[in-house]
């Protein structure tokens, strides 16, 4: 049986990814820092749960020790993330650090700690960035910068770990109606996304999970160092789409 470790697995995209792995017959280790939500989710999908914060080095060492990876790790999904949208002038260093801690440091720390287990199984890493890491927009100075860094970190991992048989790829979701997105997407932002996305809608957690599990699978065995936007075509658009849609 193959084993995946998914961070931020208590809800949203991480929980949908966990469910899909379980459907495909994988064993999943779910990691999240929200203890009640994690216990509830792990009970639903019958998976191992480790309550830990991916931004704290001691917690990360505990995850590696408790995950039961004697046979190696086939897939690491660095999905845990936080969003905090605000103008540059109002983004104090504490807000900046809070976003970087989880979104960037967490991906670095988790991958470093789990590389021995990934080497053993010649496993795959999928890091979850965002379309905000591919295209800049207002209010995303910390979030967008953290996600752009995750895209480059993925390439660094692919280039350095490839000789050990480890693949590393990045998924950049477009907007999905999760708790994270709904906390920062005002009605104006929701309307603007609907206008700017060629498929004219938000994505679903399941649609993002399909791309993640594909990149973790043997079907993607020659794909590494890539960034896949799962975004309804948002990244492909230029100016004028809303204007052209008007009758």
Name the residues annotated as catalytic: 143
- SS3 for 113? helix
Rounded CA gap, 58 and 63, in Å? 9
- Give me the DSSP letters along 173-239: E--B-SHHHHHH--HHHHHHHHHH-TT-S-B-HHHHHHHHHHHHSGGGTT--S-EEEESTTGGG--T
Q: How far is 86 from 93, CA to CA, in rounded Å?
A: 12
Q: Strand 167-173 vs strand 48-51: parallel, antiparallel, or unpaired?
A: unpaired
Using CB under 6 A as the binding rule, whether residue 33 contacts ligand NAD is answered as yes
Give me the helices (H) in 57-140, please: 57-66, 93-100, 106-121
Taking CB under 6 A as the binding criterion, the range among 29-37, 108-116, 118-126, 219-227 that sits at the site for ligand NAD is 29-37
- Of 201, 132, 218, nearest to 173 by C-alpha is 132
Span from 32-40, 61-69, 116-124, 161-169 in contact with ligand NAD (CB under 6 A): 32-40
Nearest distance from C-beta of residue 174 to ligand NAD, angstroms: 6
Per-residue binding string, ligand NAD, 159-198, x by CB under 6 A, is --------------x-xx-xxxx-----------------
The residue among 62 and 119 lying less far from ligand NAD, judged by its C-beta, is: 62
- Report the alpha-carbon distance of residue 91 to residue 85 in Å, rounded: 9
For residues 71 to 110, the per-residue mask of contacts with ligand NAD, x marking binding by CB under 6 A and - elsewhere, is --------xxxxx------------------x---x----
Q: Tell me: does residue 232 bind ligand NAD (CB under 6 A).
A: no
Closer to ligand NAD by CB, 163 or 188: give it.
188
Least spacing, CB of residue 82 vs ligand NAD, in Å: 5
The dihedrals phi and psi of 54, each to the nearest 5 degrees, come to -70, -10
Tell whether residue 42 is a contact of ligand NAD (CB under 6 A).
no
Among the listed residues 4, 30, 54, 60, the single contact to ligand NAD using CB under 6 A = 54
Contact in structure between 28 and 4 (CB atoms under 8 Å): yes
Kindly list the residues in this chain that would bind ligand NAD in the complex (CB under 6 A). Answer: 7-8, 10-14, 32-34, 37, 53-55, 79-83, 102, 106, 128, 130, 173, 175-176, 178-181
């Amino acid at each position: 049986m193959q084993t995946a470790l998914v961070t931020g697995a208590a809800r949203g995209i991480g929980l949908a990814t966990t469910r899909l792995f379980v459907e495909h017959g994988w064993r999943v280790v779910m990691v999240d820092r929200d203890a009640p939500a994690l216990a509830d989710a792990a009970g639903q999908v019958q998976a191992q749960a480790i309550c830990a914060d991916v931004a704290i080095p001691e917690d990360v060492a505990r995850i590696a020790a408790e995950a039961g990876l004697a046979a190696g790790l086939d897939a690491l999904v660095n999905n845990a993330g936080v969003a905090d949208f605000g103008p540059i002038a109002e983004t104090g260093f504490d807000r900046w650090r809070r976003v970087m801690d989880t979104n960037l440091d967490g991906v670095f720390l988790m991958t470093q700690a789990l590389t021995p287990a990934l080497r053993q199984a010649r496993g795959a890493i999928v890091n979850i960035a965002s379309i905000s890491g591919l295209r800049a927009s207002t209010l995303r100075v910390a979030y967008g910068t953290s996600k752009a860094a995750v895209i480059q970190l993925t390439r660094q991992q692919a280039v350095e770990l490839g000789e050990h048989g480890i693949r590393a790829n990045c998924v950049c979701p477009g907007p999905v109606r999760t708790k994270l997105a709904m906390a920062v997407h005002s009605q104006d932002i929701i309307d603007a996304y609907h206008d700017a996305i060629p498929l004219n809608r938000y994505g679903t957690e399941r649609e993002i999970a399909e791309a993640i599990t594909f990149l973790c699978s043997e079907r993607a065995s020659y794909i590494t160092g890539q960034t896949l936007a799962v975004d309804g075509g948002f990244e492909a658009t230029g100016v004028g789409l809303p204007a052209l849609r008007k009758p």
